[in-house]
Amino acid sequence: MKRIPPVVLAFVLSALCAFAACGLLAGKLPSFTGPESGIKDITLPQGFSIELFARDVTGARSLTLTPGGTLFVGTRGTGKVYALRQAPDGKQRISTIAAGLHHPNGVAFKDGSLYVAEISRVLRFENIEKSLGKSPQYTVVTGALPDKEAHGWKFIRFGPDGKLYIPVGMPCNICEEEDKRFGTIMRCNPDGSGLEIYASGVRNTVGFDWHPETRELWFTENGRDRLGDDIPPDELNRAPVQGMHFGFPYCYGKGENNPEFKGAECGQYTPAELELGPHVAALGMRFYTGSMFPSRYRGGIFIAEHGSWNRSTPIGYRIMFVRMEKGKPVSYDVFAEGWLQGSAAWGRPVDVEVMPDGSLLVSDDKADAIYRISYKGQ
């Protein structure tokens, strides 16, 4: 029997990780009959409640809300993009605006147009809210992105500078790449021009936001695998200016060497602002800019942790809250949990979105649902 080359083995394992990230997890929950029953197990701080905002949103992942009140939802394996509008009866009316796309995870809205990120390109659906239910057409904003599947799905958002930010994950667990687009956060103008690298040394980010006061970019980063259960941590990073390097593949966390690159000088790279849990798969994040929640939550960060796929004891499957003081993270605590029951998960949080009334939406690509978390006090 021929020995499998290490490079091939690494690719296969990374591919398995990608499939696992779609929502596969060992263990079954015989009593689970849908998200309505599952949310009864969600625990929140006193005064908070959670309800089902929408169900049957198959593979719900990235969220973006328009000023007109339309919630657009990206997916991965389903290849679909959804639009949710509130019907007269108060329920969410779900329509499919695109199908057959290549992992359309990322969605962003600007000036009446919806932007959708596939693996290797970004699409634009113009005047989208006037085209709901009419099979809207799209144009290709840019097709100048790598086509590698591993860590290829993208979260996109428009920054305060009006540019579209597009991450390009590393197509591996741990490696170096000659193509400098890999392991970066890129950005371009709304028409696709001026595509450039904003930050590098980023293994894979599937969620970012800008500080509401400083306008600095913050992002979550998924750490590598196969160093054991407890290392490395996932990360919360800050990129206030263009050109910063965050260490991958040489270093992780606050400045620890990856064993494959023991000689690397970690001091020359930007360390994590906060080390998150190991293998928690930190994805969507938002600064809380609403007024519904108590004052201690204002300006803090909510993070959706999708959950570990290969840890001996599963971890994640929850919403975490990072409290900020003077622009720095000072705590990292569980805000909502219960999607994981024992060693099996009935749901996997992906993204969060702050609503105009200050409530918080949470997408779940395993339970095919979107939840709304609100606060009513004591």
Could you report the per-residue pLDDT of 70-114, keeping only the tens digit for each?
999 999 999 999 999 999 888 899 999 999 999 999 999 999 999
Taking 70 as the threshold, does the pLDDT of residue 22 lie above it? no
Beta bridge partners of 336: 319
Q: What local confidence, expressed as pLDDT, does residue 27 receive?
A: 53
Q: Which residues, including other chains, have CB under 8 Å from residue 205's CB and lie 6 or more apart?
A: 155, 167, 169, 185, 219, 220, 221, 222, 237
Assess whether pLDDT exceeds 90 at residue 21.
no
| Res. 29 pLDDT band, cuts 50 70 90 | low
How long is the chain?
378
Structure tokens at 116: 């959708």
- Residue 30's pLDDT band (boundaries 50, 70, 90)? low
Backbone angles phi, psi at 264, to 5 degrees: -70, 140
Q: Assign 16 a pLDDT band (cuts: 50, 70, 90).
A: very low
As a whole number, mean pLDDT of residues 144-160 equals 98
CA-to-CA dists, residue 291 to 269, 324, 351, 354, angstroms: 37, 16, 20, 10
* pLDDT reported for residue 28: 59
Q: For residue 253, what is the enclosing H or E element?
A: none
Query: Does residue 7 register a pLDDT over 80?
Result: no
pLDDT band at residue 135 under the 50/70/90 scheme: confident
Which residue type is seen at 324?
M
pTM beyond 0.95: the answer is no
pLDDT above 60: residue 134? yes
Amino acid at 295: S
Percent of the chain scored above 90 by pLDDT? 87
Q: Which two tokens stand for residue 17?
A: 């990780």
pLDDT at 90: 86
Percentage of residues in the chain having pLDDT higher than 70 = 92
Res. 243: pLDDT tops 60: yes
What's 25-375's CATH class? mainly beta
**Structure tokens that stand for 9 in this block:** 């083995």
Name which of 33-37, 72-76, 128-132, 310-314 the model is least confident about.
33-37
Confidence of residue 14 (pLDDT cuts 50, 70, 90): very low
Q: Report the pLDDT value the prediction gives residue 34, as an integer from 0 to 100.
A: 86
Reported as a single tens digit per residue, the pLDDT across 345-371 is 999 999 999 999 999 999 999 999 999
pLDDT tens readout for residues 254-276: 999 999 999 899 999 999 999 99
The pLDDT value recorded for residue 18 is 43
For the chain, the domains span: 25-375
Q: Which of 33, 79, 82, 27 lies closest to 54 in space, CA to CA?
A: 82
Six-digit token pair at 76? 């991965």
Contact 324, 298 (CB under 8 A): no
According to DSSP, the β-strands at 282-287 and 48-55 are unpaired
How crowded is residue 231: how many other Cβ atoms within 10 Å of its Cβ? 15
User: Which of left, alpha, beta for 267 (phi over 0: left; psi -120 to 50: alpha)?
Assistant: alpha
Q: HSE (CB half, 13 Å, CA atoms) of 216?
A: 13
The 10s digit of each residue's pLDDT in 171-219 is: 999 999 999 999 999 999 999 999 999 999 999 999 999 999 999 999 9
Do residues 154 and 105 touch, judged by C-beta distance below 8 A? yes
